[in-house]
Structure 1
Amino acid sequence: MTHDTAQAGLLIAALGAAQREGNPIPGSDPQQWSRIIRVASKRWSTFERRHPAAADTFCARVEDLARGLLDRCAPQRNSGATIDITDCRGLARSLATILQSPPAARAGAGVNPDRGPQ
């Protein structure tokens, strides 16, 4: 799955903000964020195929993305870290806002392709 540079920068910024706010999904290692971005992007782009009968609304996509984050990004059960769906929904909303926006809107969002979000 490919991303334009502006989108990737915004997704990284959203993960950084979530981490600073104490959301456990991004974890303490930014090196793992590319995996979260891949999971979120794939989940977002395949919603219609995976849910052909569901209403394709922003709320439905956010919930689907949150479930995907919980399934794919939650730490192992024995790690001691607790992640619940509420943590996933907050992050999913942030990521979905970026994933739904067209490239032209992202270009005006203050992202320098060489340096990331400003």
Structure 2
Amino acid sequence: MDIKGELRVAKLADVPPGGLLSVDFGGVRVLLAHADGELHAVRDECSHEAAKLSDGELEGATVECPWHFSRFCLRTGTALDFPAMDPIDTYAVRVEGGDILLSRAAGGADR
């Protein structure tokens, strides 16, 4: 990580519009989602039963869990549908020179 607490995790070209990509961020699996013209980063794990959200479906600014179909807001990490009730971690995303950089300072659950 650099002095700002950021870590380069992927290239912008790796996450085309409408795309999902699971990356490693300091030992944590993080989902990058390119939705509605923005890049979002959330923990790549459903808060209900730990399914990989990167195996789910992108629907606007939400991602749907592949196991029980809970949806999560990519901006806030909020669980939008049962059976998930707890939010997921969100991460700050920045693009620099075609690289995607993540840092922890965004919000959501703090697990």
User: Normalising by structure 2, what TM-score?
Assistant: 0.31
Point out the structure with the larger helix share. Answer: 1
- Structure number, greater radius of gyration: 1
Point out the structure with the larger strand share. Answer: 2
